[in-house]
């Protein structure tokens, strides 16, 4: 990188930073961008999935160059009381494909993986090596951090990609198999048939504590696979401990992380689905919105994104309320009842829920009928403060 001032430095080449860099490059091909990522590759070690209907045509166009596994024949959920096949097309992108595509589409000089930023300001970044890069705009997409300003619980999971010895026979993704034992958390297994003999099996818990017991989850995945007759070689594993936000002081949260004049985006900036912790549709929409305003001065762009974050927080209140029901009103072993009931609702409503676009009517329909938690506990949960989202 020579001494010329960058137009835009994007710090953190995860899903959010990578999509923002790509969207800006598409909108302003001559802008001098850098995508600066501490890890050796963009996107870390993740598999991101979403429903095709989550994205609008512009979002689909942004994601189109990334190789995706597509399941056009719908998906399945399983609960103790019912099983259901839903029609929604499902998609998945693995981080090595994310990395390869960004390296192909972004200008060579924009690729700065393996580079940790030590400090950033509205005028540029200072690398861990001491090198300084001046930039007209800086976009902070580093990891999300736990915060005492937010409350909630945790989504803890381990996923395994298994190459089976023989065809596994699974055709459709299983978004939630909650027929498994419920040990002190809402537990479900998520299954993606990646190929005739390749299958991805993830054991997920909506848990009170951010503790990931790798040995235990590994054993449970092995037991689930064995029970389905899937044996073979493990070709990849991933883990996650994601916050499930049920409340808090969002302005204080952002203030704590904000650097004056720097755009605060990504999961770190609060752009997540509070209940599912998923970010793909939100990251895509945000990348396009930022790219459409990339002509603004740094300070103005930071304000624009701050307003989007506040709007997103307000618009997702309903999901935080459901999260309160899940964590604070339901007994951990009976948390599955909330999803079991939810999955009896009409499919378009379920699709809007995942896309974080539930209408007022959806919200009403979700809440009416026989409640899956005792009413006094529900009221206590709604009035309660919740647990701070801090680790350790
Ligand atoms: C295993 C896993 C699976 C998930 N699956 C899904 C899914 O199926 N669907 C979905 O929508 N969501 C999923 N999520 C949730 C969410 O989409 C991801 O967490 C998403 O990666 C968040 O994107 P992000 O870019 O905001 O943050 P991150 O992906 O955390 O990216 C932040 C990046 O910043 C880099 N960084 C940090 N500090 C510095 C520094 N000082 N200098 C330079 N770089 C730095 C990090 O190395 C990292 O690459 C998953 C999360 C995990 C962990």
- Residue 328 shares a structural domain with residue 306: no
Residue 332: predicted pLDDT: 84
The two three-digit tokens of residue 279, written as one number: 């970010």
- Residue 111 shares a structural domain with residue 16: yes
- Residue 21 shares a structural domain with residue 130: yes
CA distance 224 to 170: 14
Across residues 172-182, what is the average pLDDT? 97
At residue 153, the 3 state secondary structure works out as strand
Q: Which of 277, 300, 315 is the last residue of a domain?
A: 315
Whether pLDDT at 95 is above 70: yes
Q: Which of 315, 345, 364 is the last residue of a domain?
A: 315
Start-to-end CA distance of the chain, whole Å, equals 40
pLDDT tens by residue, 16-34: 999 999 999 999 999 999 9
- Ligand 1 atom 23: residue of nearest CA: 15
Residue 371: predicted pLDDT: 64
- Residue 10 shares a structural domain with residue 139: yes
Residue 377 φ then ψ, to 5°: -70, -35
Residue 65 belongs to some domain of the structure: no
Residue 57: predicted pLDDT: 97
pLDDT tens by residue, 138-167: 999 999 988 999 999 999 999 999 999 999
154 CB near ligand 1 (under 6 Å) = no
- Residue 268 shares a structural domain with residue 384: no
Residue 138 belongs to some domain of the structure: yes
Across residues 236-255, what is the average pLDDT? 94
Residue 326: predicted pLDDT: 83
Residue 124 belongs to some domain of the structure: yes
Residue 199 φ then ψ, to 5°: -140, 140
Q: Which of 315, 346, 364 is the last residue of a domain?
A: 315
39 CB near ligand 1 (under 6 Å) = yes
pLDDT tens by residue, 333-390: 888 998 999 999 999 999 999 999 999 999 988 887 666 666 667 676 777 777 888 8
CA distance 16 to 103: 15
270 CB near ligand 1 (under 6 Å) = no
Whether pLDDT at 392 is above 80: no
Across residues 292-305, what is the average pLDDT? 96
CA distance 315 to 271: 11
Residue 345: predicted pLDDT: 94
Pocket test for ligand 1, best of 40, 263, 279 (most atoms within 8 A of CB): 279
Ligand 1 centroid to residue 144 C-alpha, Å: 8
Residue 373: predicted pLDDT: 65
pLDDT grade for 329, boundaries at 50, 70 and 90? confident
Ligand 1 centroid to residue 143 C-alpha, Å: 6
pLDDT tens by residue, 272-285: 999 999 999 999 99
Ligand 1 centroid to residue 372 C-alpha, Å: 33
Expressed as residue numbers, the domain containing 352 is 321-389
- Residue 41 shares a structural domain with residue 96: yes
- Residue 372 shares a structural domain with residue 282: no
Asked if 134 and 123 count as a contact pair (C-beta separation under 8 A), the reply is yes
Alpha-helical regions (H) of the chain: 15-27, 57-63, 95-105, 214-227, 250-257, 280-292, 298-315, 317-324, 336-342, 347-354, 360-367, 375-383
- Residue 330 shares a structural domain with residue 305: no
Whether pLDDT at 1 is above 60: no
- Residue 253 shares a structural domain with residue 126: yes
- Residue 131 shares a structural domain with residue 254: yes
The β-bridge relationship of strands 33-37 and 124-127 is unpaired
Whether pLDDT at 174 is above 70: yes
pLDDT grade for 2, boundaries at 50, 70 and 90? low
pLDDT grade for 327, boundaries at 50, 70 and 90? confident
Residue 235 belongs to some domain of the structure: no
pLDDT tens by residue, 34-59: 999 999 999 999 999 999 999 999 99
Residue 174 has a CB neighbour count (10 Å cut-off) of 18
Cross-strand bridge partners of residue 174: 76, 191
The two three-digit tokens of residue 209, written as one number: 């504590």
174 CB near ligand 1 (under 6 Å) = no
At residue 374, the 3 state secondary structure works out as coil
Residue 161: predicted pLDDT: 97
Instruction: Specify burial of residue 99 (Cβ count, 10 A radius: 0-12, 13-18, 19+).
Output: buried
Residue 257: predicted pLDDT: 95
Residue 82 belongs to some domain of the structure: no
236 CB near ligand 1 (under 6 Å) = no
pLDDT tens by residue, 180-224: 999 989 999 999 999 999 999 999 999 999 999 999 999 999 999
Instruction: Please report, for the domain that includes residue 124, its CATH number.
Output: 3.50.50.60
Whether pLDDT at 14 is above 70: yes
Residue 330: predicted pLDDT: 75
């Amino acid at each position: 990188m020579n001494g010329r001032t960058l137009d835009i430095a994007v710090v953190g080449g995860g899903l959010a930073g990578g999509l923002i860099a790509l969207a800006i490059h598409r909108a302003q091909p001559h802008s001098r961008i850098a995508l600066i990522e501490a890890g050796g590759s963009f996107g870390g070690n993740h598999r991101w999935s979403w429903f095709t209907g989550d994205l609008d045509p512009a979002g689909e166009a942004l994601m189109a160059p990334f190789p995706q596994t597509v399941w056009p024949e719908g998906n399945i959920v399983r609960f103790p009381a019912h099983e259901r096949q839903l029609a929604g097309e499902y998609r998945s992108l693995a981080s090595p494909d994310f990395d390869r595509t960004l390296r192909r589409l972004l200008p060579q000089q924009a690729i700065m993986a393996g580079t940790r930023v030590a400090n950033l300001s509205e005028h540029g970044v200072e690398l861990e090596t001491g090198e300084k890069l001046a930039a007209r705009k800086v976009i902070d997409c580093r990891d999300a951090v736990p915060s005492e300003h937010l409350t909630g619980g945790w989504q803890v999971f381990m996923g395994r990609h298994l190459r089976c010895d023989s065809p596994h026979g699974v055709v459709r993704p299983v978004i939630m198999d909650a027929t498994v034992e419920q040990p002190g958390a809402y537990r479900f297994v998520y299954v993606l048939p990646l190929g005739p003999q390749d299958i991805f099996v993830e054991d997920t818990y909506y848990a009170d504590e951010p503790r990931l017991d790798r040995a235990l989850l590994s054993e449970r995945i092995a037991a689930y696979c064995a029970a389905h007759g899937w044996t073979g070689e493990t070709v990849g594993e991933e883990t996650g401990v994601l916050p499930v936000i049920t409340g808090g002081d969002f302005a204080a949260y952002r203030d704590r992380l904000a650097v004056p004049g720097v755009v605060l985006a990504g999961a770190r900036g609060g752009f997540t689905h509070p209940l599912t912790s998923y970010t793909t549709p939100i990251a895509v929409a945000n990348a396009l919105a930022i790219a459409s305003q990339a002509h603004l001065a740094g300070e103005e762009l930071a304000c624009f994104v701050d307003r989007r974050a506040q709007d997103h927080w307000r618009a997702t209140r309903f999901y935080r309320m459901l999260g309160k029901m899940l964590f604070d009103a339901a007994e951990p072993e009976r948390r599955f009842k909330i999803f079991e009931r939810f999955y009896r609702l009409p499919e378009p409503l379920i699709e809007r829920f995942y896309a974080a676009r539930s209408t007022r009517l959806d919200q009403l329909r979700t809440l009416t009928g026989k409640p899956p938690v005792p009413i006094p506990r529900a009221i206590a949960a709604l009035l309660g403060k919740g647990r701070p989202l801090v680790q350790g």
